[in-house]
Amino acid sequence: METTNEIVRGLCADSDYLRTQAEAALKQRGSTVQAQILQQAGHTASAQDNPVLCRVYLDRALILWRQEDDVDALAETLGQVWEVALSQGDYAATRAYLEEGLELVPRSTRLDATSFPAGAHFWLGSIAQEEGDYNRAREHYALSLHLMEQLGPGERLDGSQIVVGLQGSLAYEQGDYAAARLLLERSLALARQEGTPHKIIAVLGDLCLVASRENTFPAAEAFLAKAVALIREHAFWYLLPLLLLARTRLAVEQADWEMAARALGAEDKFRRLEGEERVLHWKSEISVCLQATRSALSESAFEANWQEGSSLTLEQACRIAES
């Protein structure tokens, strides 16, 4: 194997023989060229939908860039590999990559001094929240929001709306519903200012969860009605599971257990159809509501209502959400 492209193809081949040949050819290059080839191999593996191999090669490139003290190349590689680690659910590695990137910001020309730290603290906060470290999550979200306010108008509005919404979800998870409501109302105002219907729908769903917890049921119903109307108007069907979850929480708070089971069945069906992953506070809501509903109903009653919910058409599920 003589050329860089041949070595990259060999490193990413299914053949053990070709990979062995490629590794041998790689060792004949200097460390800088090796790092460049490994980085290119990581990109190729990513394009082949092989995140494990991508991580292997990018991590090897990182070792060489650190040895070379090539700050910009190191920063560029970190900017790629943390997303791969996050997609694998490897939060410890993602956190380590992002924290190393933050340390490089003052010396790197590849990492913007504002936008990268703003995004890094956003994801570090999300990881901390996922891990239940609420104090650390709060600190990272505050830093992210502070930095996002220094960005250009479009980036500032988009990023601030998301972070404020996450601050609201964090307060919700901690049971501070009054604080959650205020933060989500601010997030809703930013989403409306931005003119993004999908964000408006998501925040309305979260506000319904809060209103249900506060036993302000008319407000919860109003949030759901507005959200369902927007889903119909813009055909954002992938957000329907969130509204079915909000209907479930409302039913649980009103002890309407059969409705809760039907909504749970519909949520499960349409989330799977849309291929959507639940965000953190939706996951915890499902778990709590599912346990409460199963405890309140007999096994046969739960299964019957769940099956009824899972057999609903799209329009029927919308009516369940807004009923």
Q: What is the pLDDT of residue 277?
A: 57
Q: Domain end: 108, 137, 157, which one? A: 108
Structure-token match 């500032």, residue found? 156
Together in a domain, 252 and 156: no
Together in a domain, 134 and 79: no
Together in a domain, 102 and 116: no
pLDDT tens by residue, 123-158: 999 999 988 899 999 999 999 999 998 988 878 888
- Please report whether residue 187 resides in a domain: no
For residue 180, give every residue at least 6 positions away whose Cβ sits within 8 Å of its Cβ, in sequence order, or none: 168, 169, 171, 172, 206, 210
- Please report whether residue 214 resides in a domain: no
- Please report whether residue 227 resides in a domain: no
Together in a domain, 91 and 120: no
Distances in whole angstroms, Cα of residue 177 to Cα of each of 182, 188, 219, 293: 9, 16, 14, 22
Together in a domain, 118 and 74: no
- Please report whether residue 201 resides in a domain: no
Whole-angstrom distance, CA of residue 70 vs CA of residue 65 = 5
Together in a domain, 126 and 103: no
Q: From the CB of residue 69, how many other CB atoms can be counted at a distance below 10 Å? A: 9
Regions of the chain short of the pLDDT cut 70: 1, 275-281
CB-CB contact of 194 with 160 (8 Å): no
Q: What is the pLDDT of residue 274?
A: 74
- Please report whether residue 58 resides in a domain: yes
Together in a domain, 39 and 100: yes
Whole-angstrom distance, CA of residue 245 vs CA of residue 281 = 11
- Cα angle 75-81-82, degrees, rounded to a multiple of 5: 90
* Side chain identity at residue 311, one-letter code: S
Together in a domain, 245 and 268: yes
- Please report whether residue 204 resides in a domain: no
Report the length, in residues, of the chain: 323
| Token pair in block for residue 52 | 């494990």
Q: What is the pLDDT of residue 276?
A: 58
Q: What is the pLDDT of residue 31?
A: 93
Domain span holding position 124: 112-176
Whole-angstrom distance, CA of residue 140 vs CA of residue 285 = 23
- Please report whether residue 188 resides in a domain: no
- When divided into structural domains, the chain yields a total of 3
The reported pTM is 0.85
* Side chain identity at residue 84, one-letter code: V
- Please report whether residue 193 resides in a domain: no
